[in-house]
Amino acid sequence: MRTSELVTPALLVDAHRLEDNLSTMADALPGSRLRPHVKAHKCTSLAARQEHMGHTAFTCATIREMEGMARAGLGEDLLLANEVFDATRLGALARAGARVTVAVDSDATIDAAARARVPEVVIDVNVGLPRCGCPPDQAGRLADRARAAGLSVRGVMGYEGHIVGLEDRPRRAAMLQESMGQLVLAAGDVGGDVISAGGTGTYDLNAWATEIQAGSYALMDTAYGNLGLPFAQALTVVATVISVSEGWAVADCGLKALGMDHGNPSIEGADVWFCSDEHVIFVPEFRARVGDRVAVLPAHVDPTVAYHDSLHVVEGDEVVDRWEVDLRGW
């Protein structure tokens, strides 16, 4: 099948760029040094490629992702890097044979894990991003409580989400050092051998974590594209031009095909004006004609992929595979 035969909008993954991204990362962070985050692609077929590169432990953001990974035979070591109040399904998943670890940051989430008989936890530490995670000085106390509740404490995690996207690399490095200093101190109080942290933007700077939770590096987006990382934009949304006016053109890729929290997508050789539900409106430098295909580059990959039911793997204009985006929903 050719890309020109696809119903648009459709997600395209450049097979060679994807493999380059995966192997560049596997060279930098081989095996268990990387715990790929599946939230970025929500696709077990892509996760299987990451496993093929040597990474057998994965990071998830939702229980559905944990379940889907286990069902796909990728449940050797799954970390839910997020708090849950109802861990029932996680307990069941562990008893069905997957290795299940969940992040906890409070008495309530520890109790939830214990109640559901989730065997293993990491203490989630706030390292500067105002989101989840306990204050660093509380980590030891929570670890004690978790052990008292019968849970095995593997160590700590702390996501430096306020740092991974900083374009100024020296500033990124300096802030990272401060942030990870807190995590390492907390790890000493907690015990265990896991210090899980990091993302695509700090993958080669984070020397403190024992494992890096990067996800975006596989497909990339225009936001991360500004950081000068050695990963190429492998994901595009192919759209069809449906209307051309004096001064602008419209293609069929809109708000329901694109994560918009990082702003408008990009189109090479064009200025994107705005998006509607099913439209992207742009001023092309090239001559656009109704029926032309255009490649739309999303600003943020994760919420883009979550709108689509499949990834089309392409080599040039040929669609060589179709991967289901099978980890969507909750």
Listed residue (164, 90, 88, 79) closest to 124, CA to CA: 79
Least CB distance from residue 23 to a second copy, whole Å? 26
For residues 28 and 26, what is the distance between their CA atoms, to the nearest angstrom?
A: 5
One character per residue 82-111, x = contact with a second copy (rule: CB under 8 A): xxxxx------------------xx-xx--
Which of 85, 170 has the CB closer to a second copy?
85
13 binds a second copy per the rule CB under 8 A: no
221 binds a second copy per the rule CB under 8 A: no
Find out whether the peptide bond into 230 is cis, omega within 30 degrees of 0: no
287 binds a second copy per the rule CB under 8 A: no
Which of 10, 220 has the CB closer to a second copy?
10
290 binds a second copy per the rule CB under 8 A: yes
Q: Strand, coil or helix: what is 26?
A: helix
189 binds a second copy per the rule CB under 8 A: no
228 binds a second copy per the rule CB under 8 A: no
39 binds a second copy per the rule CB under 8 A: yes
Least CB distance from residue 290 to a second copy, whole Å? 4
Tokens of 36: 């790929």
- 41 close to 47: Cβ distance less than 8 angstroms: yes
Q: Measure CA of the first residue to CA of the last residue in the chain; give whole Å.
A: 32
For residues 255 and 281, what is the distance between their CA atoms, to the nearest angstrom?
A: 11
What φ, ψ does residue 158 adopt, rounded to 5°? -165, 120
Which of 80, 153 has the CB closer to a second copy?
80
3 binds a second copy per the rule CB under 8 A: no
Which helix or strand (DSSP H or E) is residue 92 part of? helix 88-95
Q: Out of 211, 221, 302, 326, name the contact with a second copy by CB under 8 A.
A: 302
Q: What angle do CA 32, 38, 42 make, to 5 degrees?
A: 155
- 26 close to 55: Cβ distance less than 8 angstroms: yes
Binding site residues, a second copy, CB under 8 A? 7-10, 39, 61-63, 82-86, 105-106, 108-109, 126, 130-133, 135, 161, 240-248, 250, 252, 255-256, 259-261, 273, 275-279, 281, 289-291, 300, 302-303, 306-309, 328-330
